[in-house]
Structure 1
Amino acid sequence: MTGSNKSRRKPHRSMSPEERAQAEQDIRGAVADLQVTAYANLRNAIANVAIFFGFVGVFAMVIGEADGRRLVPMLVLVLGGLVGAAYYPARHQHKLAVRLLLASSALVLLGLAGLVLVGTVLAS
């Protein structure tokens, strides 16, 4: 089979201005729905990461790895996980949900930075 794809294409039919406006509106609506879904998935992923690190902190404390200098960063990770878990009941209140996600992200970053600091700088 040789030749161009032009022979396989359906003939283009011209659209009326009303049909074109409706098609543009449909496409904009689909893109807006996709953006809403994508941002909701991103917010859920951020909360899940905070919850994961909270579980890591709890696990480290249970098995005895979070002793001495590591205890404070692990507690900060656990607190970040708790704030991340608090996102789910509040996710329909947009401002509160965003604030909870920001707080949980900051706590997780602070806890991880504390662990790095304890593991590298203060270990010497």
Structure 2
Amino acid sequence: MSGGRGAGSRNKRRQVSDEERAAAVEDYRESVARLQHTAYRNLRQWIAYATVFVAVIATWMLFIGQVTPASFPWYAVSVLSGAFGLATYFVREPRPRLYVLAVAVVLAVVGVTGMFLTD
């Protein structure tokens, strides 16, 4: 019933050297680092996509004439946030790209909040 395993085989482990163990730990750390890098890159891209989406909607509202003079500045701020969101793809250094993305998010939040408060 035990499938060919002897009694107490659960406690028997293959002996590995310290070098093999260190190599396995290093491989694991590299895998986790690659996963984290990919996850953060995907998160930054989706945040940039969201700011661009807000800008596209704001631009559409400008073109169809739904913008009042009181709400125009907020729509303009939203369009500017999309420009900063697109700029994140042209900035190559990680730290400035993060700053550009932060500016895009702040402008998008301010623009959308202003849109809702004036309408």
Indicate conservation of the 8 Å contact 1:50/1:80, yes or no. Answer: yes
Identity %: 32
Partner of 2:116: 116
TM-score of the superposed pair, with normalisation by structure 1: 0.84
CA RMSD of aligned residues (A): 2.3
Read off the aligned partner of 1:117 and give its amino acid letter. Answer: L
Partner of 2:34: 33
Moved more, 66-75 or 31-40: 66-75
Partner of 2:58: 57
Q: Kindly tell me: are residues 5 and 41 of structure 1, through their superposed partners in 2, closer, same or farther at Cα, counting changes over 3 Å? A: farther
- Following the alignment from structure 1 to structure 2, what is the Cα–Cα distance between the partners of residues 62 and 103? 25
Partner of 2:46: 45
- Count the aligned residue pairs: 115
Q: How does 1:1-124 map to 2 (within 5 A)?
A: 12-90=13-91, 92-119=92-119
Q: Whose helix proportion is higher, 1 or 2? A: 1
Read off the aligned partner of 1:30 and give its amino acid letter. Answer: S
Q: Kindly tell me: are residues 79 and 13 of structure 1, through their superposed partners in 2, closer, same or farther at Cα, counting changes over 3 Å? A: same
TM-score of the superposed pair, with normalisation by structure 2: 0.87
Read off the aligned partner of 1:44 and give its amino acid letter. Answer: Q
Moved more, 65-74 or 53-62: 65-74
Q: Identify unmatched segments of 5+ residues in structure 1.
A: 120-124
Shift of 1:71: 1.2
Instruction: Please list every run of at least 4 consecutive aligned residues from structure 1 whose deviation after the TM superposition is greater than 4 angstroms.
Output: 3-7
